[in-house]
Amino acid sequence: MTGAGYQLVRTPSIPGVLKPGRLYVSNRYQTASHLCPCGCGSRVVTPLGSGQWAIQMGWFTATLHPSIGNWHLPCRSHYWIRKNQVVWAGLMTEEHIERNRRSDRQDILQIHNKDGKFGGSDSHGNDPYPPKG
């Protein structure tokens, strides 16, 4: 089921007060933020990058992947943003939520080892951090 949509706003930094119906994207801070589409007024922050969310942007549209599950909010909303449109996903059980959290933690650890070096499957484990050059 498709719901309300967002207007893409490219910005150097995310504003302190978000307006309804706007998806703010900061390339500088690798973050996208918006107000929850359920109407609860909660601020939703999606970090962009490896092990987080990916964004595809056109001139006026944005698609975020994977889905956004706001398990920490009272509304517990779950949806995708595809070409600025909210596509509602089904509710998830506590078991599904916990499985996703474990998977997310594992993905992040695989990409960024505890010592701060990159450790992804395409890494040789000795990548400098911070990068040289």
- Could you tell me if 23 and 85 lie in one domain? yes
Phi-psi sector, 81: left (phi>0), alpha (psi -120 to 50), beta: beta
Tell me the pairing of strands 7-10 and 22-26: parallel
Cα 94 to Cα 100: distance, rounded to the nearest angstrom: 10
Which tops the pLDDT comparison, 79 or 2?
Answer: 79
pLDDT band at 130 (very low <50, low <70, confident <90, very high): very low
- Could you tell me if 113 and 50 lie in one domain? no
| Structural domain boundaries, residue 76 | 2-91
- Could you tell me if 100 and 59 lie in one domain? no
- Could you tell me if 73 and 111 lie in one domain? no
- Could you tell me if 12 and 75 lie in one domain? yes
Q: What is the pLDDT of residues 70-109, one digit of tens each?
A: 888 888 889 999 999 999 987 776 787 677 767 666 665 5
Which residues are within 8 A (CB) of 42 and not within 5 positions of it... i.e. 6 or more apart? 35, 36, 70, 73, 75
- Could you tell me if 78 and 124 lie in one domain? no
Entry pTM: 0.72
- Could you tell me if 105 and 71 lie in one domain? no
Total domains, the chain: 2
Q: What is the CA radius of gyration of the chain?
A: 16
Q: What is the pLDDT of residues 7-51, one digit of tens each?
A: 999 999 999 999 999 999 999 999 999 999 999 999 999 999 877
